[in-house]
């Protein structure tokens, strides 16, 4: 049986895969994210990819987690900046005085 375990955020999380699905997750990630068995080195020579398919899958999972955290952090910062700008603009707009006199 394949298994992914995570111990984080005061939780122990286990995902169990039936035996007949054990290799499907790495195979799916390899297909979705275009894993290459051969890559180019610094001299443009083709060499075997030092990262196997399982390592590739784990890296993609980590990248997904980082992307979610990054997007969340940007959203929080953007919302805070927007709120601050809104308050600043409203304070300036509140200084506008309108007077209409009959002549």
pLDDT in tens, 72-99: 999 999 999 999 999 999 999 999 999 9
> 38 with 49: CB under 8 angstroms?
yes
Which stretches does DSSP call E strand in 45-91?
Answer: 46-48
Residue 7, Cα to own-chain centre: how many angstroms?
A: 19
Residue with tokens 């390592």: 55
Alpha carbon distance 19, 32 (integer Å): 22
Which stretches does DSSP call E strand in the chain?
Answer: 2-8, 11-17, 38-40, 46-48
Alpha carbon distance 38, 47 (integer Å): 5
Q: What's the pLDDT at 3? A: 82
pLDDT in tens, 19-54: 888 778 889 999 999 999 999 999 999 999 999 998
Query: What mean pLDDT is reported for the chain?
Result: 92
CB atoms within 10 A of CB 30: 19
User: pLDDT over 90 for what percent of the chain?
Assistant: 74
């Amino acid at each position: 049986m394949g298994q992914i375990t995570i111990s984080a955020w005061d939780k122990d999380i286990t995902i169990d895969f039936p035996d007949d699905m054990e290799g499907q997750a790495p195979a799916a990630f390899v297909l979705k994210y275009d894993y290459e068995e051969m890559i180019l080195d610094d001299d443009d020579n083709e060499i075997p990819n030092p990262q196997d398919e399982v390592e590739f899958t784990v890296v993609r999972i980590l990248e997904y987690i980082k992307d979610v955290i990054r997007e969340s952090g940007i959203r929080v910062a953007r919302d805070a900046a927007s709120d601050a700008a809104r308050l600043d603009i409203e304070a300036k707009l509140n200084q506008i005085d309108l007077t209409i006199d009959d002549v």
